[in-house]
Structure 1
Amino acid sequence: MNVQQRVGPYTLLRKLGEGGMGVVHLAQDPSGRRVALKTMRPDLAGREEFRRRFGKESEAARRVARFCTAPVLDAGFDNGTAYLVTEFVEGPDLSSVVAQAPLTGSNLEALAVGVATALAAIHQAGVVHRDLKPSNVLLSPVGPRVIDFGVAQLADTPGAVATIATMMGTPAYMSPEQARGEHVTPAGDVFSWGALVTYAGTGRPPFGLGGVAEVVYRVINHAPKLDGLDERIRPLVERALDKDPARRPTAQQLVDGLLGRTGVPVSAATEAVSESWRPPVVRPSAPRRAFPWLAIVGAVVAAAVGAGVTFALVRPGERPGVQPGTPAAAATIDALGSRLEVRVDSLVREGARARLQWTVKNVGTENAPLVGKLGSGVFDETVSRVSIVPPGVGNPLYPAFKDGACQCFTVPKASFPGGAQLQLWAVFEGLPETAERVDVNLGPLGSIKNVAVTGA
């Protein structure tokens, strides 16, 4: 199509892409706002069944809330051309970014939460996406946005005959039931979420690549390959990729599981994603001059980590515990992709208040990033997940909070390679006065039993 050609009231500016259902253009509405306009294939628009279903589905798509999605703004026919208009999202698609490097850390977690949030919003509107794949997830400056759900079949029409929609989907990301040509429910989108997150975190889909028949056979019959996927989100991905749709979590349960609490509204989840998201760079950019103080901080952190220096952080008003030297208890474990030496330096009480201080050293050869691994939620960069268990106390004691802030260590956003070492701390309240020893649970760093409690 030539520049400035019109479809309905929209002016087409340039072609953005092309897929199995049609062509997507950057367009402009009468007010001058930029939008994405998708024209459906002429042979599809010419079918009576498609024309009937298109109107019904586009109406349903417009009910989807604007949370981690590119909302549908308009739909119609113009001289036999069926078109769908959505909000234009600035940013590359997931496949373009992962082609350079898989996502890691907070960005991988934000992607998992964002796409799950979008599915929750889509499913709440009674819609099934049916074709969730990397090219249908755009990475905007404020987080991932799911697109192209406007051609989904209504979720509340079980048993409906939909010969066109039945074959929709991309084999590497479709559910076993969709691959068999069966009716697809929201559970099918959850399966696709698991496949997509695996691809985002490892650079490869869980059932491999190849011919359509070969991939479909593996989707139906083989266990997914999740080697290298972040252990923090792997359990949820495994549940999402269950062959039985009835055993998969819902999209809302994915959001809750990732954020560490129940009943998280899609609005709150979207805000959490935006706050933690760091837009990935698709192509190397020209060097940019950093502010001097940022360069100094970066150099100090890099030098310290490289030299295996211990980081110690004491918040104002908190008195450090006894100096490390004679460990109260220690253990060496394989965790977070490397071998770690964990040492409790001190557990000092003052009344019912106690301060735990411990050291983690990477004695292996692989990077083992700690940020985001010791908190209670996917975006929690503190060590709030750590707990102590006094004898005779039914529930563990977790770090105390004051004015909404954890009275505990915040893990630096830095690599943690072999030889690196961190000293961490947390303050607990409610320690029984009779407790002389406690068990210390350090989350993925394991548990250390019978740690002595000493007086201030």
Structure 2
Amino acid sequence: MSEQGQERDTGAGRDLGPDDPRTVGDYTITGRLGEGGMGRVYRGRSPGGRPVAVKVARAELSADEGFRARFRSEIAAARQVGGFHTAQVVDADPDADPPWMVTAFVPGRDLGRTVAEDGPLDAPALYALGASLAEALTAIHGCGVIHRDLKPGNVIMSDDGPRVLDFGIAHALYDTRLTHTGTVIGTAGFLAPEQIEQGTVGPACDVFALGAVLVHAAGGHAFGEGPPMSLLYRAVHGEPDLTAVPDALRGAVAACLAKDPADRPTAAGLLAELRVHAPVPVAGPRRADAPAPPDAEPVRAPAAAPAGPAATPAAPAPTAVAAPGPVAFEATPGRKLTGVVGSLIGALSAGFVTLGSWQTQYAENDAGASLRLWAPLVLAAFALRIGLALARPHTVTVGAAGLTVRSRRGTHKDDPVVTIPWADVIAVSRPPVNSGPGVKLLLKLRWGAPLPLPRQGVEPRSPDWVTVTVPRPMGTATTTLRKEVREAVARCAPHVHVDYL
């Protein structure tokens, strides 16, 4: 079911019918936004008054456990990608009757309506659109997810750039239980040949759909118009019609629409090619000949310069931008001592045993002699352990290169220092349960990134999650530490999506 047609925040959606709910969970329904084969999408309000999009499955699908599994997959996919490229998941209940999911409301028109009302996009806007969609697909594929139904109706032109919506039939790449060979799922005219013939899907299918979306945004149709079966046949056996695409962009679009998936660029490769021409994405592109908005100030011609030799403007001196400095989070001495309470208790116990072993009379081989021999060594070992704990504490450093954890010790004689590069991190959030005096971070790694070995403060979770414990100094509130960590990550790794910590 598509979340297409999310209009700008100027009022409620279409009127509600008698079979439409008025509330879903704690959310008030104010209008209908769209409808599809899986259910309906409503405009609603959160308990605090924020606009949200509420996706409600059809009632007859509630008894289908296979559908509930796909619905859970949709929720997991949207949560993995995060809110930068999609609509952030706010709440969900896949076990409800019927199942529902709530996302942040994305104001704007879908791409299909934008082209229909404002006309085709010009070359700069097409470059910006292509770069934004390629960036979104790079993030989606990096999470091990494929969309499977990228089309103009699933692209919302929001104020901060295009958003890719509707993960209703998106599946995790590694979740083969929900992929059925021979089943064609998607929209004719945007399906790749391998989807149509074999029912197989992969990241290259989304790249094919991106090429068809760019043709549509340019005012054309990659495989013409007509019945769906005609479009499917042309996609497999015909050549795409790229006459509407500007010459400068035609080569990149043709590569996306290649019949062989191996001949298509990856989303990351396409992004590298397009961003050179479109460094800043646009949210709502207009045609080049579209009139200026009525509140725009008139452009005045500059005053004529006095006659004289033309002065050559001096080139501005390059400004060096310093990399953000690292921020270290280390336990204070008071907090360090709390970590060695067990050691102190052990030392006191050994001392009491030593005192009890000093007796005036004992047998030649009794336990007292052994205790008097080994107790000083045990006390020295505990003292050494306390000293090492104070001299080398558990420290987490947030730097430009990555997040470095320095443990008091490693496991299995591993190096106690580990760095998780920001290039491997997609998102940072908080785990469901946070125990202990520190603050735990849940890092979502890109698909295929190596997991670090377990250490103190570092707990890898297969397949691509890592929990990192940030020590909290004595006297520092947990909320203050969370804010400092959030600001440090945002400054050192602006590309990483940071959820509420």
Q: Same fold (TM over 0.5)?
A: yes
Out of 1-10 and 245-254, give the one that drifted further. 1-10
Pick closer, same or farther for the CA change 1:204–1:186 going to 2, 3 Å: same
| Cα deviation, residue 6, structure 1 | 1.0
| Cα deviation, residue 211, structure 1 | 1.0
Q: Which residue of 1 aligns with 2:276?
A: 260
SS in structure 2 opposite 1:179? helix
User: RMSD across aligned C-alpha pairs, in angstroms?
Assistant: 3.2
Q: Which residue of 2 aligns with 1:317?
A: 312
Q: Deviations over 1:388-419 (max 9, x none)?
A: xxxxxxxxxxxx985279xxxxxxxxxxxxxx
The structure with more strand, counted as a fraction of residues: 1
> Aligned to 2:31, which of 10, 14, 19?
14
Q: Which amino acid aligns with 1:126?
A: G
Q: Which residue of 1 aligns with 2:121?
A: 103
Q: Which amino acid aligns with 1:31?
A: G
| Cα deviation, residue 163, structure 1 | 5.0
> Aligned to 1:184, which of 183, 201, 205?
201
Q: Which residue of 2 aligns with 1:232?
A: 248
> Aligned to 2:157, which of 128, 131, 139?
139
Aligned length: 295
Distance 2:205 2:120 in 1: 24
Distance 2:145 2:34 in 1: 24
Q: Which amino acid aligns with 1:252?
A: A
| Cα deviation, residue 238, structure 1 | 0.9
Distance 1:118 1:165 in 2: 28
SS in structure 2 opposite 1:172? coil
SS in structure 1 opposite 2:76? helix
SS in structure 2 opposite 1:184? coil
Calculate the TM-score normalised by the size of structure 2.
Answer: 0.53
Distance 2:48 2:101 in 1: 18
Q: Which residue of 2 aligns with 1:206?
A: 222
Q: Do 1:174 and 1:191's aligned partners in 2 also have CA atoms closer than 8 Å? A: yes
Pick closer, same or farther for the CA change 1:30–1:402 going to 2, 3 Å: same
For residues 347-366 of structure 1, what are the structure 2 equivalents within 5 Å?
none
Distance 1:170 1:215 in 2: 10
Q: Deviations over 1:418-439 (max 9, x none)?
A: xxxxxxxxxxxxxxxxxxxxxx
Q: Which residue of 2 aligns with 1:76?
A: 93
Q: Do 1:84 and 1:150's aligned partners in 2 also have CA atoms closer than 8 Å? A: no
**1:403 correspondence with 2:403:** no
Distance 1:162 1:237 in 2: 28
**1:125 correspondence with 2:136:** no
Out of 206-215 and 146-155, give the one that drifted further. 146-155
| Cα deviation, residue 234, structure 1 | 1.6
> Aligned to 2:108, which of 67, 84, 91?
91
The structure with more helix, counted as a fraction of residues: 2
Distance 2:138 2:316 in 1: 31
> Aligned to 1:112, which of 126, 130, 149?
130
Pick closer, same or farther for the CA change 1:81–1:65 going to 2, 3 Å: same
Q: Among all aligned residue pairs of Structure 1 and Structure 2, give the percentage whose two residues are the same amino acid.
A: 41
| Cα deviation, residue 154, structure 1 | 1.0
Pick closer, same or farther for the CA change 1:191–1:153 going to 2, 3 Å: same
Distance 1:70 1:165 in 2: 30
SS in structure 2 opposite 1:223? coil
SS in structure 2 opposite 1:228? coil
Pick closer, same or farther for the CA change 1:316–1:233 going to 2, 3 Å: farther
| Cα deviation, residue 167, structure 1 | 3.4
Distance 2:152 2:83 in 1: 20
| Cα deviation, residue 62, structure 1 | 0.5
Q: Which amino acid aligns with 1:167?
A: V
Q: Which residue of 1 aligns with 2:41?
A: 24
SS in structure 1 opposite 2:92? strand
Q: Which residue of 1 aligns with 2:82?
A: 65
Distance 2:43 2:182 in 1: 25
Distance 2:64 2:284 in 1: 44
Distance 2:216 2:319 in 1: 36
Q: Deviations over 1:321-365 (max 9, x none)?
A: xxxxxxxxxxxxxxxxxxxxxxxxxxxxxxxxxxxxxxxxxxxxx
| Cα deviation, residue 121, structure 1 | 1.1
SS in structure 2 opposite 1:120? helix
Distance 1:139 1:253 in 2: 23
SS in structure 1 opposite 2:147? coil
Q: Which residue of 1 aligns with 2:167?
A: 149
| Cα deviation, residue 254, structure 1 | 1.1
Calculate the TM-score normalised by the size of structure 1.
Answer: 0.58
Pick closer, same or farther for the CA change 1:17–1:165 going to 2, 3 Å: farther
Q: Which amino acid aligns with 1:107?
A: A
Greater Cα radius of gyration, structure 1 or 2: 2
Q: Do 2:68 and 2:94's aligned partners in 1 also have CA atoms closer than 8 Å? A: no
